[in-house]
Structure 1
Amino acid sequence: MQIMQKAAIGALVGLLLGGCVSAGPAPAEPSPVDSAASPQTRALFHFLRQQMGEGILFGHQHETTQGLTIETTDGTQSDTYNSVGDFAAVYGWDTLSIVEPKIEGDITEQAIKAYERGGIITISTHLDNPLTEDQKGIFPAGTSWDTTPAVEAALPGGEAHEVYTGYLDQLAQWALNLKAEDGTAVPVIYRVLHENTGNWFWWGADQSTPEQYKALYRFTVDYLRQVRGVDNFLYAYSPNAFWPATEAAYEERYPGDQWVDVLGFDTYGPVADNADWFRNVRDNAALVVRMAEARGKVAAIAEIGIRAPDVEAGKYDNCWYRKLLQTLKSDEQARKIAYLLVWRNAPEGVNGGKPHYWVPTTLPHERERGTLEDFRAFYQDDFTLFNSDLPEVYN
């Protein structure tokens, strides 16, 4: 690590580890938390804020790089496009495509194509456990899902701090090199250490105190924007949905307004008897909208879908997309989320997993089940936006 970087980190420690951060009043003219954000990144932030209440952007993880009906993963095809004739508006990827060993494959070229198509990019976090990353073997040893507590060790002064900053260095280098043909740095919504209120990641609620987690989130943002000079990131915070959805619950591990541009949440529900779950989706969406409006931020559903075991078991709900949209539109606050994102469509064997998908496809059984018809009805609704519905987002 360079001396300049070490000095910059030292200057951050007092800020990150000391005192409480109050929300305070929303600024007169909300802006990204990175005061040096690029013009295109600022434009994205303002577009998303203005979009709230005007329609919900549809997002899909690995939109153009994994699928059940595509013939190439070069960024030109997607299951979404094959189903409805349009790409998702929000393209999701992960640090698993950025930080070595890049087990989901490099996505730089595909992300640039999505941007040049007018789409919006978001990156989620699955960083290896910095304490055990050299012990990789049978899953989940050494991975994100290795729940050996490591948050305190990753903070400045901790035994795993340099390993953790090594991850961030790779992420920063990727961001700094992510440029369109005209040389413009591609804006990215970076979802930092998500689902932190669960217990399945090394940064989870059972693995760290609220103060430890908040300190690591703050360090991550400040290291990227201040030490490494990344100016094309917006920063998203997305815990799991809360039961019940209260501001006090959301704020327990919330790192503070100085480090967050997008307030979101992640939620997966049962395929059957899911009325209560849909109501909870509505309540959490309304919560993040109220909080975002009060703070001058963006509100989103960062991950949503039928829970994986149900999908992998072949269970389905042929009204799921219409139920979701109706639920959100029925509430004057919940309908204001800027975007929602469903997880990836993956054939068997991807990352060693079972086949699973969240975007209905054109395969024959989807037509028979009625799930494709359901997704097409969601697409055709005037309140959903896909890639071709986007205006010029970045100017």
Structure 2
Amino acid sequence: MQKMQKAVIAALLGLVLTGCASGGPSPEALAPADPAATTQTRALFHFLRRQMGRGILFGHQHETTQGLTIDTTDGTQSDTDNAVGDFAAVYGWDTLSIVAPKIEGDITEQAIKAYERGGIITISTHLDNPLTEAQKGTFPTGTSWDTTPAVEAALPGGEAHEVYTGYLDQLAQWALNLRAEDGTAIPVIYRVLHENTGSWFWWGADQSTPEQYKALYRFTVDYLRGEKGVHNFLYAYSPNAFWPATEAAYEERYPGDQWVDVLAFDAYGPASDNADWFQNVQDNAALVVRMAEARGKIAAIAEIGIRAPDIEAGQYDNRWYRKLLEALKSDEQARKVAYLLVWRNAPEGVDGGKPHYWVPTTLPHDRERGTLEDFRAFYQDDFTLFNSDLPEVYN
């Protein structure tokens, strides 16, 4: 309750300060990229902007649909809640639950429950390679990790354009049908073609020029909000963390302010000897905050955690969450990121993969290692916000 009261006061104070601040974007610029965004979507945009510097919202991918300590995936349980007695503030899912064949399972009802709980929803992108899909029968298999260059082919006039718009049609149908019990269209932060500065996806740096990538990002946003009438999306741009973190590096593939609401980045690092990595996270967080403030946008860390090979090898850092929070809080710019999100908790065999978990659990190994204690200390800090700490976000 004390954390919630502080969050409400901070949000109200932020409203006052936003109205009184001098310099920066004009009041007219402080609006979502979609001029026709719904009332609730605009409310989410303004809440997250006001939140910057007044506490960091904690997010978790597949918060209520995958886990190691839950016995149902109907949206009522989570490893986070079992560990600290509260749900994440930001619930992450993916197009893998929306676009056929929905290999991560439909999440519509769980997303509705998250919204009605007062939480915030974000969707990331793992669309199959549209060129490989258009040329069925060719190798490789056509997942997001099929690095056959396909960005140019997905653009209007390209060989894979119809396949790509078919993916977007399914996403749009889901968005338009995602409604609360009272009929309200539920707002979603849609993270478009993320980690594009790496080269492990078909839209990556080795698979497209900066201009090709920017054109596909812009087309995606324009198609969803213009052609399909989706007005309950905020749009996030999220490359990988840069070494070093410079505005020039970030802007190379940045699609432009007309198509972006959230400036973010993704960062994974080692389980040990990670001081330099945490410093780099701080540098990138400060960078996106500076850029977001100058543009009237939201800054966030869209994905963060210990890198997957270390997790799979059983490596850990029992002060990881406290180190992360210290790195962010100790810099006057970095501390202003609105939210951060860690990846999913999934047992071995889910989607054919190895066990993954980024939220420490109540299981014996996390108690013995001290990782549960670390996560609980992160939760108890007044600067972190979980679901029950949120004021009325959509009002």
Alignment TM-score > 0.5, same fold: yes
Q: Give the Å deviation of 1:115.
A: 0.1
Distance, in Å, in 2 between the alignment partners of 1:113 and 1:28 is 33
TM-superposed CA distance for 1:140, in Å, is 6.3
Q: CA deviation at 1:28?
A: 2.5
Aligned pairs, number = 371
Structure 1 CA distance for aligned equivalents of residues 137 and 329 of structure 2: 46
Q: Judging changes above 3 Å, is the alpha-carbon distance between structure 1 residues 144 and 227 closer, same or farther for their aligned structure 2 residues? A: same
1:18-40 deviation per Cα after TM superposition (whole angstroms, max 9, x unaligned):
xxxxxxx7343400000000000
CA contact (8 A) 1:27 1:295 kept: no
Q: CA deviation at 1:365?
A: 1.0
Stretch of structure 1 that moved more, 55-64 or 128-137: 128-137
Please give the alpha-carbon distance, in whole angstroms, between the structure 1 residues aligned to 2:369 and 2:133: 43
Output the CA distance in 1 between the equivalents of 2:327 and 2:201.
30
Decide whether aligned partners of structure 1 residues 58 and 139 sit closer, same or farther in structure 2, where only a CA change above 3 A counts.
farther
For residue 283 of structure 1, give the secondary structure of its aligned residue in structure 2. Answer: helix
Indicate yes or no: 2:344 matched with 1:332.
Answer: no
The 1:136–1:66 alpha-carbon spacing in structure 2 relative to 1, beyond 3 Å, is farther
Give 1:364's aligned residue: 364
- Once residues 124 and 355 of structure 1 are traced to their aligned partners in structure 2, the CA distance between those partners, rounded to angstroms, is 20
- What are structure 2's unaligned runs of at least 5 residues? 1-23
Give the Å deviation of 1:342: 0.1
One-letter amino acid matched to 1:43: A
Match of 2:109 in 1: 109
Q: Which residue does the alignment assign to 1:284?
A: 284
The aligned counterpart of 1:40 is 40
Q: Any conservation in 2 of the 1:136–1:143 contact (CA below 8 Å)?
A: no
1:371 and 1:237, CA in 2 relative to 1: closer, same or farther beyond 3 A?
same
Alignment match, 2:193: 193
- Counterparts of 2:391 and 2:139, CA distance in 1: 43
The Cα offsets for residues 148-189 of structure 1, whole Å up to 9 and x where unpaired, read as 000000000001000000000000000000000000000000
The answer as to whether partners of 1:134 and 1:142 remain within 8 angstroms in 2 is no
Shift of 1:324: 0.2
CA shift, 1:194, in A, is 0.1
> Which letter maps to 1:353?
G
- Say which SS state the counterpart of residue 264 (structure 1) adopts: strand
**What residue in structure 2 maps to residue 21 of structure 1?**
none
Q: Which runs of 5+ in 1 are unaligned?
A: 1-24
* 2:181 aligned partner: 181
TM-score w.r.t. length of structure 1: 0.92
Q: Which amino acid is the alignment partner of residue 141 of structure 1? A: T
Query: How far apart are the structure 2 equivalents of 1:305 and 1:120?
Result: 20
Contact 2:134–2:159 (CA<8 Å) still a contact in 1? no
Matched residue SS, 1:311? helix
Alignment partners' CA distance in 1, 2:176 and 2:94 = 16
Letter paired with 2:37:
A
Provide the C-alpha distance between the structure 1 equivalents of 2:390 and 2:262, rounded to a whole number of angstroms. 19
Shift of 1:356: 1.3
State the distance in 2 between where 1:155 and 1:31 align. Answer: 28
Q: Tell me the residue number matched to 1:13.
A: none
* Residues 132 and 139 in structure 2, CA contact (< 8 A), matched pair in contact too: no
Pairing of 1:135-150 with structure 2 (within 5 A): 141-150=141-150
How far the C-alpha of 1:350 sits from its partner, in A, is 0.7
Residue 312 of structure 1: aligned partner: 312
* Residues 137/67 of structure 1: CA separation in 2 closer, same or farther (3 Å cut): farther
Deviations 1:96-120 (A, max 9, x none): 0000000000000000000000000
Q: Secondary structure at the match of 1:277?
A: helix
**Greater shift in the superposed pair: 163-172 or 26-35:** 26-35
Amino acid at match of 2:376: R
Task: Give the letter aligned to residue 26 of structure 1.
Answer: P
**Pair 1:134–1:348, CA change in 2 (3 A):** farther
Query: 1:262 is aligned with what amino acid?
Result: V
1:197-231 CA-to-partner distances (Å, cap 9, x unmatched) read 00000000000000000000000000000000001
Corresponding residue number in structure 1 for 2:93:
93
| Cα distance in structure 1, aligned partners of 2:25 and 2:241 | 24
State the partner residue of 1:78: 78
Which residue is 1:252 aligned to? 252
- What is residue 354 of structure 1 aligned with on the other side? 354
1: CA distance, partners of 2:139 / 2:216:
24
State whether residues 116 and 180 of structure 1, in contact with CA within 8 Å, keep that contact through their aligned partners in structure 2: yes
Q: Structure 2 CA distance, aligned partners of 1:343 and 1:324?
A: 15
Question: Helix, strand or coil for the counterpart of 1:57?
Answer: strand
Q: In 2, are the aligned partners of 1:269 and 1:277 still within 8 Å (CA)?
A: yes
Corresponding residue number in structure 2 for 1:228: 228
Match of 1:26 in 2: 25
- Tell me how far apart the structure 1 counterparts of residues 268 and 136 of structure 2 sit (CA, whole Å): 28
Cα distance in 2 for partners of 1:139, 1:210 equals 26
**1: distance between equivalents of 2:306 and 2:180?**
35
Match of 2:131, SS state, is coil
Separation (CA, whole Å) in 1 of partners of 2:140 and 2:187: 31
Distance 1:240 1:28 in 2: 30
Does the CA contact (< 8 Å) of 2:134 and 2:163 recur in 1? no
- Hey, what does 1:394 align to over in structure 2? 394
Q: 2:21 corresponds to which residue?
A: none
1:209 aligns with 2:209: yes
C-alpha change, 1:140 and 1:388, in structure 2 (3 Å) is: farther
Per-residue deviation, 1:135: 7.0
CA RMSD, aligned part only? Answer: 1.3
SS at match of 1:131: helix
Q: Determine what percentage of the aligned residue pairs are the same residue.
A: 89
Q: Which amino acid counterpart does residue 69 of structure 1 have in structure 2?
A: T
Which residue of structure 1 aligns with residue 379 of structure 2? 379
